[in-house]
Structure formats: structure tokens, C-alpha cells
Amino acid sequence: MMRKLSLFFIGMMLMAVLEVNAQEYTKATVKSFANNFIATLMQKDVKGTLKFFDPDYVAEQHDSFLEGRTEQFVAEFLAGEYKKGFYFITPELDRIKSMKVKKTCCNLDKDEIYADVQILMDYGVKYTIRLDLHVLESGKLGFVGAVG
């Protein structure tokens, strides 16, 4: 009985710590996180971008499904619509001219954390994508995307 009670209190304390960490996030911290990801990518450090993703997402999508193909993983994460749904772009990473955070949201009550990022390709195409994030068990942010 005492052990169950101890485990319960440890669990509650862990949840409280995670909740406190999650409450630190604002639109500004989401923008900073997204800008750090963009800076890493624009410096051609594609492998380095993996640290910005949820490790479970990396394990399932990057490691298992894509068998470690990092460029494909990041390119597909940055894929989006151009011309209101007429064209779908999966960018060649070395052809991205610039990326800029246009809008962020950090509504933890609704579990909405995202950064809308505008991508400009070197051939003139410009499109905006939504990069979804969530708070990891560690209390840090991590990008998540589609699997499969």
C-alpha cells in the first residue's frame, strides 16, 4: 500500500514538473525554436535538424519507414501546397532560398503549438506550411508530422 502511494505521488510530481515546463512556452519561444530549426537547415546541417523533432516521430518515420533517409524525411516534413491546392511541393532542400516564421501559436489548453513558415524556393515559388509541435515528456518542444 505504501509503495503504491509513493508511486502515485512520484507520478503526480512528474506530471507537475512537465506541466510547469509546458507553461513556459509562449509564441516567442515557439518562434525562437522554429528560427533555430531554420538556421540549422539553412546552414546545410540536415542531420542537425533531427534534434528539433520528437524522438518517437524520428524513430517511426525517419528510422523505420524511411530507413534513415534524412534528406527525404526533412523534405517531406517541409512539403506543402502552392497556389491554393493546385500544386503540392516537396522541396529539394538545396533549392530553398529562404524560410521565415510568419505566425506562431502556443495555446497549451487546446494543445495547439505551431509555427507557420513561409518557404521561398530559388526558382521563385513561395508557399507557407504549418509546422506542428508538442511538448515532449522531457518538457522540451519537438516537431511532429505525418507518418507513412
Pair 91, 121: CB distance under 8 Å: yes
Does pTM top 0.75 for this prediction? yes
Q: Which three cell numbers stand for residue 51?
A: 534534434
What's the pLDDT at 28?
Answer: 95
Residue segments in the chain with a per-residue pLDDT below the cut of 50: 2-23
pLDDT at 108: 83
| Element of type H or E holding 130 | strand 126-135
- Quick one: the chain helix, strand, coil %, rounded to 5? 45, 30, 25
CATH fold of the domain at 2-144: Nuclear Transport Factor 2; Chain: A, (3.10.450)
- Residue ranges covered by each domain of the chain: 2-144
Q: Give the model confidence (pLDDT) of 25-57 as tens digits.
A: 999 999 999 999 999 999 999 999 999 999 999
